[in-house]
Amino acid sequence: MLIGGVTLGILTWLSLIFSFMHLPAWLKKFLLNHFIITDLLSITITFLGLAGISHSIMAVIGSITCGLLVNITLIINKNFTTKNLNRKPNGT
């Protein structure tokens, strides 16, 4: 069950990443600047979606895995954006 839940979580996270690319720019900016709202939305959507597929612990594990990956992705994006903003224009 653990492997199945982690697999569902990773696949759901990838789906959320690809779906995120199609959102309007203003919504992307809002979600990237408000971690807690993005986390709550992703966990809620993921749990509801996965609970519809599997009424077992796999849905919970998948939701937790996806939530962790979303949070890690937001942290990486914030650090990457901060580093790019602090770079000098000549690339040094």
Read off the pLDDT band of 90 (50, 70, 90). low
Q: Does residue 1 carry a pLDDT above 70?
A: yes
pLDDT, greater one: 91 or 30: 30
- Residue 46 CB partners (closer than 8 Å, separation 6+): 9, 12, 16, 62, 63, 66, 67
In b/e form, how buried is each residue of 31-68, taking b as 16+ CB within 10 angstroms?
A: beeeeeebbeebbeebbebbeeebeeebbbbbbbbbbe
Q: Does residue 67 carry a pLDDT above 80?
A: yes
